[in-house]
Amino acid sequence: MTNITETELEEVLDAYRHIGTLKSKIPYGNGHINNTFLLTYEIPDGQEKRIILQEMNREVFKQPKELMENIIGVTSYLRGKIIENGGDPERETLNVVPADDGENYYVDSRGEYWRAYLFIEDATCYEQVETKEDFYQSALAFGNFQHLLAGYPAETLHETIPQFHDTRKRFNDFLRAVDEDKLGRVVHVRDEIDFVMKREGDADVFGDMLKRKELPLRVTHNDTKLNNIMIDNATRKGICVIDLDTVMPGLAMNDFGDSIRFGANTAAEDETDLSKVSSNLELFEVYVEGFLKGCQGSLTQTEIRLLPMGAKVMTYECGIRFLTDYLEGDHYFRIHRENHNLDRARTQFKLIEDMEAKWGEMEAIVRKAANK
Ligand code: ADP
Ligand code: GN1
Ligand code: MG
């Protein structure tokens, strides 16, 4: 990710002049990966039009053209489904706005890739759950997203980040970072390293089952944080799933699990007071109910049984990724303060301890919801 100057941004804005007269531009959102701006234009009829402009993170997404092919493929497919169901395709999926030259992305003179989306109006991205009902609606929407994409030709999707949720690979990358200790930070995180090492077995649970063909690969979102869904301000429904950069073949439990990791946390992902961090079982329960309903009976018994494991594995993997990035000098996740990735890793490990203490209850909640 690069820091862009005003002149560099001007060049990009110049490539989208057909939208209207630019009134304002502000950095936007709390994503850790892309560089996002909210643009407000005046259009010929005198009205305002808002656009999301993003610089794609090229350290993370090495093949931006292929990434955009995925986005266009998936959003066109969803558009068809939304129209079939009588929905509003301008609000219920992302819509790429082409540049002046008609391309779906713009490459600036530094070689950085940009894209624009219609801004989804009258809807909100939450950083933390405010009501149980909102969380239920987000579960319904993420479950339904997976259900809607069940017929998508998975073989046409590019793998935008190879082995994205291969937890064993993440574990091995972590071991390498510890071994190399490029910044001499290992000495500060001995306890965290021990924590990860003790749970090494969790890195292989899903990978081993996949090898034994006990789990189906589905077209999944793979980044199902609460702030990757827009909740309609009026109806309070999960109106649109956004951040489609990682839509790839994956596991249902991981989509479920990443939502629990982030949304059922009683504190922020980067909370430094760990006494505030726990996994809320009431939120876990509503999410299980919403997700099963959204998937509309498509999950196998094995997948359902493994939902708690999905929550644990996603939290473990994410904790490992934050800690690895801390050890390697914070080049992957955007940070806003010193030790930010370490703080994020610590919240993940606290969540795991809490889930381990609540394991029986989590399994009972899933059994109850599955038998309803
Ligand atoms: P990142 O990969 O960095 O997380 P996202 O695509 O999730 O990037 O975008 C960052 C934030 O920008 C989102 O969390 C959301 O708040 C906002 N955002 C992104 N796309 C839209 C959109 N089409 N309409 C409204 N807000 C959006
Ligand atoms: C990143 O892009 P964003 O902020 O929605 C990351 C996820 C992590 C998450 C942790 C492409 O999500 O995998 O779980 O941060 N996305 C990518 O908050 O690596
Ligand atoms: Mg995001």
Q: Is 28 in the pocket of ligand 1 (CB under 6 A)?
A: yes
Contact indicator for 145, 241 with CB cutoff of 8 Å: yes
What percent of the chain stands above pLDDT 70?
99
Q: Cα 251 vs. chain centroid, distance in angstroms?
A: 14
pLDDT digit string (tens) for 78-131? 999 999 999 999 999 999 999 999 999 999 999 999 999 999 999 999 999 999
What percent of the chain stands above pLDDT 90?
98
Question: Of all atoms in ligand 2, which is nearest to the CA of residue 32?
Answer: 4
For 117-140, give one letter per residue: b (16+ CB within 10 A) or e.
bbbbeebbbbeebeeeebbbbbbb
Question: What pLDDT does residue 2 have?
Answer: 58
**What's the topology of domain 132-370?**
Aminoglycoside 3'-phosphotransferase; Chain: A, domain 2 (3.90.1200)
The Cα–Cα gap between 366 and 246 comes to 27
When pLDDT is averaged across residues 341-367 and rounded to a whole number, the result is 98
The CATH code of domain 6-119 reads 3.30.200.20
H or E, element range at 238: strand 238-241
The one-letter amino acid code at 77 reads: Y
pLDDT digit string (tens) for 235-289? 999 999 999 999 999 999 999 999 999 999 999 999 999 999 999 999 999 999 9
Q: CA 314 → CA 159, 203, 311, distances in Å?
A: 19, 10, 5
The one-letter amino acid code at 198 reads: K
Its pTM stands at: 0.97
Tokens matching residue 260:
């629990």
The ipTM estimated for the assembled molecules is 0.98
Ligand 2 contacts (CB < 6 A) are: 31-33, 60, 223, 225, 228, 243, 245-246, 258, 269, 318
Q: Tell me the backbone φ, ψ of residue 118, rounded to 5 degrees.
A: -60, 135
Task: For the chain, give every domain's residue range.
Answer: 6-119, 132-370
Nearest CA to ligand 1 atom 4: 31
Going by their DSSP bridges, the two strands 106-107 and 48-55 should be labelled as unpaired
Tokens matching residue 155:
């073989």
The Cα–Cα gap between 140 and 147 comes to 10
Confidence of residue 3 (pLDDT cuts 50, 70, 90): confident
Q: How many CB atoms lie within 10 A of CB 191?
A: 9
Residue 1 has pLDDT above 80, yes or no: no
Residue 21 has pLDDT above 60, yes or no: yes
When pLDDT is averaged across residues 341-362 and rounded to a whole number, the result is 98
Tokens matching residue 11:
């060049």
Q: How many CA atoms lie within 13 A of 282 on its CB side?
A: 6
| Ligand 3 centroid, distance to 316 Cα (angstroms) | 19
Question: What pLDDT does residue 327 have?
Answer: 98
Q: Is 94 in the pocket of ligand 1 (CB under 6 A)?
A: yes
Write down the H helix ranges in the chain.
Answer: 6-14, 64-84, 132-148, 167-180, 190-198, 205-211, 252-263, 281-295, 301-305, 307-328, 340-357, 359-370
Q: How many CB atoms lie within 10 A of CB 327?
A: 28
Question: Of all atoms in ligand 1, which is nearest to the CA of residue 244?
Answer: 6
Confidence of residue 372 (pLDDT cuts 50, 70, 90): confident
| Ligand 3 centroid, distance to 229 Cα (angstroms) | 9
Tokens matching residue 294:
């959204």
| Cβ-defined contacts of 333-337 (< 8 Å, 24+) | 333/32, 333/33, 334/1, 334/31, 334/32, 334/33
pLDDT digit string (tens) for 333-345? 999 999 999 999 9
DSSP bridge pairs for 38: 26, 52
Of the candidates 26, 33, 23, the residue with the CA atom closest to the CA atom of residue 9: 26
